[in-house]
Amino acid sequence: MTTDLKAYDWNELEREVVRPGVTRVGFAGDNVICVFNWLEPGMETRPHSHTFEQLVLILQGRIKLHLDDGSVELSAGGMIRIPPGVTHYAEPLGQETVLNLDIFSPARIDYAHLVKYQLVQMP
């Protein structure tokens, strides 16, 4: 990773539109990538799984997080670990935009495009 000590503000980065109601930006270190997601009420949900460990932290709003055959509700300050291989998806609750921070380890190479502005070298 570059030794650049530049600070960034996720509100000032260009957001990637994932699908209607879901936008995101990324920030990376040498072995980890953080993805800030804006989840709008009524967004399309897409159950999925992946080979990465994922930490989910809710910064704003409320979600129902569906995990395999169960679910948990999280609000601002809530956090949970999703192990690799667990099918999951988030469903916003209420009318507030949800801002969640996902942390993936190891760093997801398929998200490298989100951190090009940092000029980091992804593994």
CA dihedral of residues 116, 45, 40, 28 (deg, nearest 10): -20
pTM: 0.89
Q: Which residues pair with 60 in a beta bridge?
A: 99
Q: Residue 65 domain-assigned?
A: yes
- Phi-psi domain of 111 (left: phi exceeds 0; alpha: psi -120 through 50; beta: other): alpha
Q: Residue 91 domain-assigned?
A: yes
Q: Residue 95 domain-assigned?
A: yes
Q: Residue 78 domain-assigned?
A: yes
Q: What is the CATH number of the domain that holds 114?
A: 2.60.120.10
d(CA 85, CA 99): 24
Full domain range(s) for residue 82 = 10-118
Query: pLDDT tens digits for 30-87?
Result: 889 999 999 999 999 999 999 999 999 999 999 999 999 899 999 999 999 999 999 9
Cis peptide before 84, with omega less than 30 degrees from 0?
A: no
Q: Residue 57 domain-assigned?
A: yes
Structural domain count, the chain = 1
Q: Taking Cα atoms as reference points, which of 98, 102, 96, 97 lies closest to residue 80? A: 102
d(CA 89, CA 75): 15
Query: pLDDT tens digits for 93-123?
Result: 999 999 999 999 888 999 999 999 987 666 5
Q: Residue 5 domain-assigned?
A: no
